[in-house]
Amino acid sequence: MESRYQSMNKKLNTLITKHDASQPRTIHSKTKTPTHTQPRVINLTNITLTQEQMKVLSLGPQYALEQKPSTYINELIIEIENAIKKLEPKWQNMYRHQATTHMKQIKENNKQNPLHKWQQNLINKVKKELTSKNITITKADKSKAIVMIHKMNLQVKIIHFLQNNITQRITKDPTDKYNKQIHRVAQQCKLIINKQTHKHRTNLQPGAPKLNVVIKTHKEDMPIRPVVNNTRAPSHKITKFLNTRLKNMEILPNTYNIKNSLEIAQEISKIHTNQHMKLITLDIKDLYTNLPTQGITQATKFWLHNRSHQIEENR
């Protein structure tokens, strides 16, 4: 319990001694100048933003804007009071008195703190500018950069991707149909999914997966990489469940699989090479969308059958 309050006091002292952000052009100290060669903001449009606007955008989509002092002070008061209530009654008033003293100092030091107003004002101006000129912002692939692009140009890239891949336009949303089929099959698999956990394996309110895109700024013509959000898809929960079950069964030998790039780097370092050898890497285009469903099903059946024979032999 004492360590909890030491942590709370440290948080209070940090806020009290916080750098005075009275100069609105000061960027938050946690932001560092990127060291990679690719810029943090890639502008594919003909509009020009001010240097200040570019600085705010370069902070990235995950950067948290400076909060209003009143916002985090109120949150801190609630956290402190909740923590104090868990102390013994004889210590509560003493900690409340200390907290009150600290909070007065925090309020006094943050009366003139316009950083949050400056950042929010710049963000609002950028949003207004982009909206008026029909420009959107998306992420870059394999980097932390963001890309400014006209919505029409992005739409063209998406259409081009769909035309070059095996896609088909449908006139009716099949989500309900698939959802009923998944429910029916799940009810029949009593050995794998018991009745009590059946509702936890299916989405009660499913929806069609949504397509998001990132732009491959490191490639020629900057094509898109599709990112499909399957969270609400009818098969999302049951797919995760089956994937976990299959992994636990260890049905695959994983002879040629690696966990990450570090593992392959370690394996390559063990290979003895000479000047007559060449190292070749192959990249499979759209791997997952081109995997044959029938072949995957047959392979899964084969390994499951092989695994069942191993279990019987071990018995």
What pLDDT score does 125 carry? 86
pLDDT band at 21 (very low <50, low <70, confident <90, very high): very low
User: What pTM value is reported for the model?
Assistant: 0.62
pLDDT band at 28 (very low <50, low <70, confident <90, very high): very low
Kindly state the average pLDDT of the residues 249-267: 79
71-128 pLDDT, tens digit each? 677 777 888 888 888 888 888 888 888 888 887 877 776 655 566 777 778 888 888 8
Kindly tell me if the per-residue pLDDT of 296 is higher than 60.
Answer: yes
Distance CA(84)–CA(261), nearest Å, equals 47
CA separation, residue 137 to residues 127, 212, 243 (Å): 10, 12, 34
CA separation, residue 6 to residues 19, 76, 80, 88 (Å): 21, 15, 12, 16
- Which SS3 state, helix, strand or coil, does residue 224 take? strand
- Which SS3 state, helix, strand or coil, does residue 207 take? coil
What pLDDT score does 51 carry? 85
What pLDDT score does 189 carry? 84
Q: Supply the mean pLDDT for the chain.
A: 80
What pLDDT score does 174 carry? 92
Distance CA(256)–CA(57), nearest Å, equals 42
What pLDDT score does 300 carry? 85
